[in-house]
Amino acid sequence: MPTAHLNSIRVHYEDTGSGDAPVLMIMGTGSGGQAWHLHQVPALAAAGHRVLTLTNRGIPPTDECVEGFTVMDMADDAIALIEHLGLPSTHLVGTSLGARIAAEVALGRPELTNRLVLMAAAARGDRMRLALSAAEREMQEAGIVPPPVYRAAVKALTHLSPTTLADDTTAGEWLDLFELYDGDGTAPGVRAQERMQPLPARLNAYASLRVPTKVISFADDLVTPPHFGAELASAIRGAQYEEIPACGHFGYLERPEAVNRSILTFFGTATP
């Protein structure tokens, strides 16, 4: 698994497939680039794309940088990776925090950006999201560590669609997965990512994006409700907007076929 030394840290990435239209995929808080490999990487590679997945700082095997960092630091890592690989430009796909990172890359270095896909995206917070961030921060500072079974249940309720959870077998599989892989939330790099919340409002800045952009929201997303994505798409001149039904914040895992089709259609490489 390749690691590049960029911006004085080690950055892990994976390089799959080949083609003249490379895609760089950027994951959200607490997850590595490997999360894209279950559904998105095979579909994009099969459609003729070279697919790069980046594991952001904070998530091993990329350096954890426990002293803290910003979205701009993470955007600079993505830019440095594109330049390290000698790519003239790339399609960018980001979800949640990854969408913020991708938008900053496209804003700061538009010549490196071919097309931009922002999933589960928002350019500002609201009272409810700010309250949740403050509550989680206070709990961490107090040294409170909820048991894994509780964290798994809360994550399922907040990140998945009621449609997914309506089936007990499917819900049980997700609960087991979250409990197994989510840990106790005390990993220092993950906490460094979480400490970035709340992110600054950037709606006015993103309105100046001039690369072809598609915003994809997930209809049952409680973490980043669809109205945030619709607002963002409306602010970006010429941006496309799509809302995918029956999925939550992890829509790329819940309804991967619909998500992949949406991305590839925007890239012009979807099969009939």
Reported in sequence order, the residue ranges of 199-272 that DSSP labels E, i.e. its strands, are 213-218, 240-244
Separation of alpha carbons 124 and 258, rounded Å: 26
Which sign, positive or negative, has the C-alpha torsion 177, 136, 139, 74?
Answer: positive
Amino acid type, 119: M
Catalytic annotation on 96?
A: yes
Candidates 12, 76, 249, 262; catalytic one: 249
Angle between helices 148-159 and 168-181 (to 10 degrees): 120
Q: Is 73 a catalytic residue?
A: no
Residue 35 DSSP label: G
State residue 170 phi and psi, 5-degree precision: -65, -45
Catalytic annotation, pick one of 96, 161, 217, 262:
96
Peptide bond into 147 cis (omega under 30): no
CB contact at 8 A, 96 and 120: yes
**CA distances (Å), 68 to each of 60, 73, 133, in order?**
15, 10, 16
Catalytic residue among 63, 76, 220, 221: 221
Nearest in space to 256 (alpha carbons), one of 266, 244, 243: 244
Contact 252, 39 (CB under 8 A): yes
Is 221 an annotated catalytic residue? yes
Q: At what angle do helices 71-84 and 97-108 cross, to 10 degrees?
A: 60
Strand partners, 14: 53
Cα diameter, the chain: 54
As a whole number of Å, the CA-based R_g of the chain is: 18
Which active-site residues does the annotation give? 96, 221, 249
